[in-house]
Structure formats: C-alpha cells, structure tokens
Amino acid sequence: MERNDIIDFKALEKELQAALTADEKYKRENAAKLRAVEQRVASYEEFRGIVLASHLKPLERKDKIGGKRTVAWNCHATQRETESQDEATEISQEKTLFQPETSAEFYRDWRRHLQSGPERYEALLQLGGPKLGHLFQTDVGFGLLGELLVALADQVRPADRLVVLGILHSLAGTGRFALNLSLLSPAERESCRGLFQKLQAPGPKKEGLSQKERGLEEQPGELQEEERLLQELLALYQVA
C-alpha cells in the first residue's frame, strides 16, 4: 500500500469528535432556547444569557467556592468575544426572522427554530399565500402539509380569515397536493375539518355601528369573493 493510501485514523477521530461536540452544543442551546421561550423571559438579554450559560451545571453540596482561580468561571461566554456576538446575532434572527428562499430552507427552519404553535402560525401569516405557493410549487413535502394545517387550525383568528384562505388556496395549487392530502393522519384530518369550521363561523357582531358604517366595513363584493373562495377550498380539501 502506498503512503498516500494510508488512512489517518487520528484525523478521522478528531473530525468525529468535533462533529459530536457541535451536535451536542446545538441540542443543548436549542433546549435552552425552548426553556427561555416557555419561561417568557422579559428581555432579549435574559434570553441570551440563558443560552450562553446552557453548558453550566448547578453546584452540588460537595463543590467549594474559593481558592486561587486560574480560569474564568464562564469560559465559554468570555472567550472569543466576536464568536459570542455572532451567536447573539444568530439567536436574534431566529426569533424575529423567517424568510426562507427555498422549500429546503423552510423545512429546516420550520423544524429547527419554530417549535410552538403561535410561532408557526405567525410565520405562516408573515410569508403569506403567494410566497408559500412559490416555495412549494413542486411539492409541499411528506408530512409537512399536515403540520401546516394543524398550526393554522390551532391558532386561526377571525381577523386573519382572508389571509388564511389565501394560504390554503396557495397550498392547494402545489404539486402532488392530492397525494399529500390523502396521506394526512386522522388527527391532521380532524384539524383540517376544525379549521374550516372556524373559517365558516360568522364573524363578530358589529354592535354599536350605524347602518352606513356596517355597510362600509362589510364590502358585499369582498364578502361574496371570500365565500366563493371558501366553498372552492371546501371541495379541494375534501371537507364534507
């Protein structure tokens, strides 16, 4: 065997260890982000502090404080200041931005950064129907259609009715929509039916408004268009 064909096991072991360390760091910090969201932290600084200290463990009774200290207490937070700033910027972007340019980016960020129902719902509203239709013009992807319907069904608000109808219309125009619809689980089908029941429910009564004000708000032509779109979607999503 020639010299160039010799496998460098030490280099392979080093690469494997680096990959395992990076994966462990991602899981640890992602869990810290979820805890911070659940705790409803008051500020971004508090959120950042929880994530940067995610590697620390609570002191036990046998641990002692004192003596000569040769290393920083929180070395991960103090070393490489520029790296910490980059991480903070990344965390901030994860919380506020959801702007995928491809279906792969959507799927990655949807699963990695958007964990709660409200987060997913607001992200869908932010993107809107046209953008979602462009991202998934080829195919929504196995299992994702059901997740989108569940997020909409759990969080839909009467004020968002038209936007949600637009999202549903765009999804219905994606590739292999009929196949993805047939693969919905029983729970996802039930969420889909529940979503359309909420969309069919009458809006809040406009009590206290004059007849002229009610007429201006309702816009009969717009209401008729919404109703036509709703009936079309009921058929497309096979909701009896």
What are the residue ranges spanned by the domains of the chain? 9-58+67-97, 98-240
- Of 191 and 142, the structure prediction assigns the larger pLDDT to 191
On average, the pLDDT of the chain sits at: 77
- C-beta separation of 237 from 192 below 8 A: yes
Q: Write out pLDDT tens, residues 32-60.
A: 777 777 777 666 666 677 767 766 655 55
- C-beta separation of 84 from 93 below 8 A: no
Q: Write out pLDDT tens, residues 111-158.
A: 888 889 999 999 999 999 999 999 999 888 878 999 999 999 999 999
| First-to-last C-alpha distance (Å) of the chain | 70
Q: In the predicted model, what is the mean pLDDT of residues 162-191?
A: 94
Q: Give the model's confidence band at 207: pLDDT under 50 very low, under 70 low, under 90 confident, else very high.
A: very low
pTM as predicted: 0.56
- Rounded distance between C-alpha atoms, residue 58 and residue 73, angstroms: 13
In this prediction, residue 220 carries a pLDDT of 63
